[in-house]
Amino acid sequence: MKRAIITKTFYFLSSLGIGLAIYSCAAIAPPSGGPDDETAPKFIGSIPESGSTEFMGGKVILQFSEYIDKKSIDRAISISPEPQTPVDVIYKDDEIHLFFPEELLLNQTYIISINRTLTDERNVALDKSIQIAFSTGSTIENGKIMGRVFGEEKYAVHLWKLNGDIIDTLFFSKPLYVSEADDKGFFQFNYLSNGEYGALAVDRSAAGLPLNRERIAYGLGPQLVYNLSSNEVIKNISFMIHRETPKIKLTHVDWKGPRWGWMHFNQSLNDISFEGVKIIDSDSSELIPNYYQDSSEKSRFLLTLNDTLNEGKVNLNIKKIVPNSGPSTSNSAISFRVSNDPDSSHLYLLKPPLTSIINKDNKGGPLLSVVFSKPIESFSDSAFQIISDSDTTLASMTKVNPMEFTFLPKKGWKEKKTYRLLLFSKYLLPIEGKSFPDPIKSIDVISKKKIGYGTLLGSLVGAQKPSIIRLKLISKVPEYFVSDVDSNDEFYVNELPEGRYELMVINDSNKDRIFNYGTIMPLKKSEWFYISSDTFEVRANWEIDIGKIEIEK
């Protein structure tokens, strides 16, 4: 009896193992290993077909080339105009089923927009947004508005149909239509009825949301209102977006020692002045600091004091911050703490590297910037010396601020030559602590081949006047060069560093020689602009004629 039970158990376990093996072989699963699937899901079509008329509501099926991620659907689909009764959305693997109410507006085109939030099961998004339309009448509108948002990020465009004059509050409302730009910035609205429209480009992360100027980068076009006739196509609308400059704000103070520190602002500041800057320490003593803007990080200012602060809580007050343009800011204040622990640390260099490579420019430069770890309170002419081939080289030294000095040989750097900048510790007295631990600190400067310069010239056809040309040197650190366009629509830009350039034409209507993006409040359109799809190479000692640039209409 016992043997029979064991035998039956053996056969049962064997059968179970074989069954599991068969099931495992038959199960459908993606193969392991290999490259990830990065193919974007494709929209195959809809039932009924897009463009159908006499639409009476009911089920609409959206078909895709592969299974869709269910979690991506909610934010991906919008319907304009929204029916009074909400549309039910049902997930069906590689299909999405929409159930429209029967009570729809007469002779109305309904647009289903599918944005690039929609992804497949591997989280690969659509490569472009999709629009599908049905009409409850006998005809369907087919007006189009299309264009491009220029930039390096991902964008979307909002569109509103106007019922009257355009006003700034329009852009703070939810848009009627949304088109997410593709990876090159191109967008398109389809199935639009005739009428007047307002448009706004935004970061794609804000697609479909009301505008928040403090958080969302945006850009207006060169027109505020686009008048669309029946079945008309308006194309080549261009946008560039930016973040509005916020109100200047003193954010924090990073106090480094008893007599110096940094004050920080929420943005880079140019042509700024301060009134009534004072520091009040824990003993209610008022001290007037010296302040210097950091040349590379323009959102912060070095503060130095002639006297030592009392230890504890300290207040920094600025009566007025006055920018060169824009409103001033009154009564900025911030608190911080000060410790009077003695500083016994040595001075060291923040930059440049002890071996620095430079390329001579057309002015004999560049300037060699030397930045110390703390302010230099006093120094003598003997503190610095430049030598080359064992000979002392006459040099110009400029004190940018107590922490930064710049150097340049009197006759500029010579090509393919090595220099050594010597810093003598005993002649450099920091605001606190000690000078360099070594008597002499040296920086080797290797001057390589000089930068070559060339010229670019050409002419414009169809540009709005007055125009300027802005050339952008395509490099890790882009440089910009601006030139006028003369009365014959010709331009000539010389002394351009060799390299490849992007060309932008700007209708400089206010003659400030910069591009103006437009503003919501006050409502003001952007300046017209055109960016060439071609790039242009400048070669050293060459005059490159790029011929006529015909502006696309």
For the chain, report the end-to-end CA distance as a whole number of angstroms.
96
Q: How does pLDDT run along the chain (553 residues), one tens digit per residue?
A: 444 444 444 444 444 444 444 444 443 344 445 556 678 899 999 999 999 999 999 999 999 999 999 998 988 888 888 888 889 999 999 999 999 998 898 888 999 989 888 899 999 988 888 999 999 999 898 899 999 999 989 999 999 999 888 888 999 998 989 898 998 999 999 999 899 999 999 999 898 889 998 889 999 999 999 999 988 999 999 999 999 888 899 999 999 988 999 999 999 998 899 999 999 988 888 999 999 999 999 999 999 999 988 888 999 999 999 988 778 889 999 999 988 888 889 999 999 999 999 999 988 999 999 999 999 999 998 999 999 988 888 889 999 999 999 999 998 999 999 999 999 999 999 999 999 999 999 999 999 999 999 999 999 999 998 999 999 999 988 899 999 999 999 999 999 999 999 999 999 988 999 999 999 989 999 999 999 999 999 999 999 999 999 987 6
**Signed CA dihedral, 164, 166, 168, 170: sign only:** positive
Q: What is the pLDDT of residue 116?
A: 87
Domain ranges in the chain are: 43-240, 250-338, 349-448, 453-550
Please give the CATH architecture assigned to the domain spanning 453-550.
Sandwich (2.60)
Helix (H, G, I), strand (E, B) or coil at 428: strand
How far is Cα 303 from Cα 319, in angstroms, rounded to an integer? 16
Please give the CATH architecture assigned to the domain spanning 250-338.
Sandwich (2.60)
| CA 225-229-231 angle, 5° bins | 125
Q: What is the pLDDT of residue 37?
A: 63
Q: How far is CA 348 from CA 291, 300, 434, in A?
A: 22, 21, 10
Q: What is the pLDDT of residue 7?
A: 44
How many residues in the chain?
553
3 state SS for 352-421 = CCCEEEEECCCCCCCCEEEEECCCEEEECHHHEEEEECCEEECEEEEEEECCEEEEEECCCCCCCEEEEE
Please answer whether residues 350 and 405 qualify as being in contact, where contact means their C-beta atoms are separated by less than 8 angstroms: no
How far is Cα 479 from Cα 459, in angstroms, rounded to an integer? 22
Q: What is the distance of C-alpha 190 from the center of its chain? A: 29
Residue 199: name the closest of 180, 166, 224, 231 by CA.
224
Contacts of 319 (CB under 8 A, 6+ apart): 275, 276, 277, 330, 331
User: Has domain 349-448 been given CATH number 2.30.30.40?
Assistant: no
Q: What is the pLDDT of residue 21?
A: 45
Q: What is the pLDDT of residue 5?
A: 41
43-240: which CATH number, 3.40.50.700, 2.60.40.1220, 3.30.430.20, 3.30.160.150?
Answer: 2.60.40.1220
What tokens appear for 137 in the block?
Answer: 């009448």
DSSP secondary structure of 170-221 = GGGSPPSEEEE--TTSEEEEEEEPSEEEEEEEEEGGGTTSPP-TTT--EE--
Helix (H, G, I), strand (E, B) or coil at 551: coil
Q: What is the distance of C-alpha 15 from the center of its chain? A: 64
